[in-house]
A and B are shown apart, each in its own frame.
Chain A
Amino acid sequence: MTSTDLARSTIVMVVVLAVQLTLLDSVRVAGAHPDAMLLLPVAAGYVAGPDRGAGFGFAAGLLADLFLPTTFGLSALVGCLLGYGTGMATRGLVRSSWWLPPIVAAGATSMGLALYAILGAVLGDPGMVTTSLAPALVVATPAAAVLATPVVRMVSWALPAMVSGHGAGIGSGAR
Chain B
Amino acid sequence: MARTRRARRPRLTIGLLVLASITIITLDYRGDAHGVITSLKSAAHDAFSPVQRGVDDVTHPIGSFLAGAVNGGEIQQDNAELRQEVGRLQAQVLAHQATANAVKALDQLNNLTWTQGIPTKTAQVIALNPSNFAATIELGVGAHGGVAPGMPVVGGAGLVGEVISTTATTSTVRLITDAASAVGVRFGPDTADLALAQGDGIDKPLVVNFISPGTALHKGEVLTTSGLQNGLFPPLIPVARITTFRSAASATQESVTAAPVADLAQLEYVDVLQWTAPG
The residues of A with any CB-CB pair to B shorter than 8 Å are 17-18, 21-23, 25-26, 28, 30-33, 35, 49-51, 54-55, 58, 61-63, 66-74, 76-77, 80-81, 84, 87-88, 113, 116-117, 120, 123, 125-128, 130-133, 135-136, 139-140, 164
Contact = CB atoms under 8 A, between A and B. Distances in A.
B10 A135 contact: no
A77 B26 CA distance: 12
B110 interface: no
B29 A123 contact: yes
B115 to A, nearest CB: 26
Nearest to B265: A28
A14 B41 CA distance: 15
Contacts of A80: 14, 17-18, 21
B226 interface: no
Nearest to A139: B132
5 contacts: A18-B48, A26-B59, A58-B21, A73-B24, A136-B132
Given A22-B56, A26-B128, A116 B133 contact: yes
B220 to A, nearest CB: 23
Contact of B129 (A31, A74, A164): A31
A134 to B, nearest CB: 9
**Which of A18, A63, A69 has most chain B Cβ within 10 Å?**
A69
Contacts of A67: 41, 44-45, 48, 130
B179 A131 contact: yes
A31 B128 CA distance: 10
B175 to A, nearest CB: 10
Contact of A120 (B6, B23, B56, B133): B133
Contact of B172 (A61, A69, A128): A69
B10 A50 contact: yes
A51 B18 CA distance: 13
A81 B29 CA distance: 20
B13 A31 contact: no
B128 A69 contact: no
A49 B10 contact: yes
Nearest to A73: B24
Given A23-B59, A113-B132, A128-B179, A123 B25 contact: yes
Q: Which 6 residue pairs spanning A and B have beta carbons closest together?
A: A127-B179, A31-B202, A73-B24, A131-B201, A77-B21, A31-B203
B202 A135 contact: yes
Contacts of B180: 125, 127
B134 A58 contact: no
A54 B10 contact: yes
A72 B172 CA distance: 15
**Which of B10, B14, B18, B29 has most chain A Cβ within 10 Å?**
B14
Interface in B45-59: 45, 48, 51-52, 55-56, 59
Interface of B: 6, 9-10, 13-14, 17-18, 20-25, 27-29, 37, 40-41, 44-45, 48, 51-52, 55-56, 59, 127-136, 164-165, 172, 174, 178-180, 199-204, 265
Contacts of A72: 24-25, 28, 37, 41
Contact of B18 (A50, A63, A77, A127): A77
B236 to A, nearest CB: 28
B133 A136 contact: yes
A73 B134 contact: no
A87 B9 CA distance: 13
B203 A132 contact: no
A74 B25 contact: yes
**Which of A17, A54, A117 has most chain B Cβ within 10 Å?**
A54
A76 B18 CA distance: 9
A62 B41 CA distance: 11
B129 A55 contact: no
A66 B151 CA distance: 22
Contact of B28 (A32, A73, A125, A139): A73
Contact of A140 (B23, B44, B132): B132
Given A71-B25, A76-B17, A164-B6, 5 more contacts: A58-B20, A70-B131, A73-B21, A74-B25, A123-B29
